[in-house]
A and B are shown apart, each in its own frame.
Chain A
Amino acid sequence: MILEVRDIRMSYANARKEVFNLLNGVDMAVEEGKVTALIGGNGAGKTTLFNIVSGFEKGFKGQVILEGNDISKLSAHKISLMGLGRLFQGRQLMDDLTLMENMKIASDDTTGENPFDCFFRRKKVAASEAAKEQQAINILVRVFGEDNKYLKMLNHKASELSYGEQRLIAMARLLIGNDRLLLLDEPTSGVNPRYIDTFRTIIRDMVEKEGQTVLLIEHNMSFVRSVADHCHYLADGKIIKSGPTAEVLDDPVIRKDYLGL
């Protein structure tokens, strides 16, 4: 198991000191080299769970184990350096940066990202920049084909791309870093359906070609069915059912509770 989440509990208190238990003992395991989906109703706590796993939420009880290491107390960027990639819900690329810059910041190579390198290690920085550029072009070609239009837009601001395109590229650039586990929060949400196939291809690429593991939150059930091997259903603060996707999605209780069928 590449990721194990043990007895995660998390609650909020509001102004009137009322306590609300969002997560009430979540136990979840994610198998390496597969695509796993995390499903559940709105407000069930899926994104919060992602935040806990990736280190952005610290006020919880329980343990998060990544590849055998307890990462519960580590900061978000350290967890990322250990090989965890994250796509946030609703966020795409950084619109103030150009497309190329957006790709470069996803690189594992941080040469030049301190105030001194640009003065004292010019050659090294130039070389690493060239390598990053090549890497970015490779990814774009791989995902969109040889003559894709993005190759001509590398110096355009990311804000010129549509939301769907930005989501796609944001996900594609996760192929650049050497992440072992990728957390994708609602990748297809709000995206034009014509891109869905490309999303599916990227995710399968991540698992089959790069050997990565994917854990995704999704509300689009047909997408989940077509891309996920396993499924976890989160409700009432716990993982109520886990298993192969078809088994979970065909479960009559879940179909009634969550899908309303």
Chain B
Amino acid sequence: MLTQFLINGIITGILYSLLAIGFALVYNTTKLFHIVAAAIYVFAAYMFYLFAVTFGMPVLVAAIVAVVLTMGLSLLTDVSVYRPLKNRKASNNVAMIASIGMMTVIVNLIAMCFGNETKVIDNTIHRSFTLGSVIITSPQMWQLVAGGLVIAAFLVFIGMSSWGIRFRALSADSVLFETLGYNTANTRTFVFLMSGAFIALASCLTVYDIGLDPNMGMNVLINAMVAMIIGGVGRFGTCVLGGVTLGVLQALTVFQFSSNWQNAVTFVLLLILLFIRPQGIAGYKQRTV
């Protein structure tokens, strides 16, 4: 029984990790508190719904279309709001408020078009796999495999490719980055596109069997932010560590208490962490200038 919960927890953890990476991509490189990611998450879900259900396209195709469109939206938030604000020397807090504004606009536009009630993409009982005493449903298999592979590929990419080094350089010092001749604009574009992809992937994989509503974004995003902090701010591999840890802890809470309180666990954990070890499990203390 416990193993079942643990496996569920790990799989949920992978979904958190994906979203955490999506958020961290923007936060680590630009220090922007990318709250609109919650809306991007919702957008991806509804695009998936639109193409898979309303237009009746095959699920895989719909998902890909949704991911591509979401990448576009993610880039749009940077190009239309973040970058112009940066050019006006606006502070990060101002950008964050603008991010909140964008989130409100996008989420409510979606609600206006699709309605406020919960929608479902696929209601049928799915095939499941049995390994010993553990049951894994087909959607869960997708989450585990697709999510896991993408994460692994990304970590390799970050660690080894020149783009990965560029991300890390941009995170460390954007002014120096530019002085050294790297094109900040191009790297930023790439960052936001990738962020959109990760958020969309997390969204599509999750809502496939759970369903979607316009207000689900913030809750999930907070979980992802907590995952990022648990693991350790500043790096990407640690997002995975944090995501899986959070997923497992939540699963254990459900196992021990009830599912109502699993969110409370997240927030209590967040507060404890922020007070005791804000750099997370594997992060490092940043020297305050």
Which A residues fall within an 8 A CB radius of B?
12-15, 17
Between A and B, 8 residue pairs with Cβ closer than 8 Å are A12-B287, A13-B284, A13-B285, A14-B284, A14-B287, A15-B234, A15-B284, A17-B284
A15–B235 Cα distance when bound, in Å, is 11
* Chain B residues with CB below 8 A from A14, complex form: 284, 287
A15 contact set on B, CB distance < 8 A: 234, 284
Chain B interface residue number, banded: under 10
Quick one: CB contact mask for B270-285 with A, threshold 8 Å, 1 for yes?
0000000000000011
Q: How far is the CA of A13 from the CA of B287 in the complex (A)?
A: 8
Chain B: interface secondary structure? loop
Nearest CB in chain B: distance from A18 CB, A: 11
In the assembled complex, the Cα of A13 lies from the Cα of B283 at a distance in Å of 13
The residues of A that contact B234 with a CB separation of less than 8 Å are 15
Q: List the count of A-B residue pairs having beta carbons below 8 Å apart.
A: 8
Q: Encode contact with A along B245-289: 1 for CB under 8 Å, 0 otherwise.
A: 000000000000000000000000000000000000000110100
With A12-B287, A14-B287 known, 6 other A-B pairs at CB within 8 A are: A13-B284, A13-B285, A14-B284, A15-B234, A15-B284, A17-B284
Report Cα–Cα, A12/B287, bound state, in Å: 8
Q: What's the Cα separation between A15 and B287 when bound, in Å?
A: 10
Shortest distance from the beta carbon of B7 to any chain A beta carbon, whole Å: 34
Interface of A is mostly: loop
Q: In angstroms, how far is the closest chain B Cβ from the Cβ of A185?
A: 15
Q: Which residue of A lies closest to B284 (CB)?
A: A15
Chain A residues near B287: list those with CB within 8 A.
Answer: 12, 14
Closest to B287 in A: A12
Interface string of B115-127 (1 = CB under 8 A from A): 0000000000000
CB nearest neighbor in B for A17: B284
Distance in Å from the Cβ of B145 to the closest Cβ of chain A? Answer: 33
Docked complex Cα distance between A12 and B234 (Å): 18
Question: Roughly how many angstroms separate A15 CA and B169 CA in the complex, as a whole number?
Answer: 13
- Chain B nearest Cβ from A22, distance in angstroms: 11
Q: How far is the CB of A188 from chain B (nearest CB, A)?
A: 23
B285: nearest residue on chain A (CB-CB)? A13
Q: Which of A14, A15, A17 has the most CB of B within 10 A?
A: A15
The answer for the CA separation of A14 and B234 in the assembled complex, in Å, is 13
Within 8 Å CB of A17, what residues of B?
Answer: 284
The smallest beta-carbon distance between B232 and chain A, in angstroms, is: 11
Residues of B within 8 A of A12 (CB): 287
Q: Measured between C-beta atoms, what is the minimum distance from A19 to chain B in Å?
A: 12
B168 to chain A, nearest CB (A): 10
**Nearest-Cβ distance from residue A98 to partner chain B, whole angstroms:** 23
Write the chain A residue with the least CB distance to B288: A57
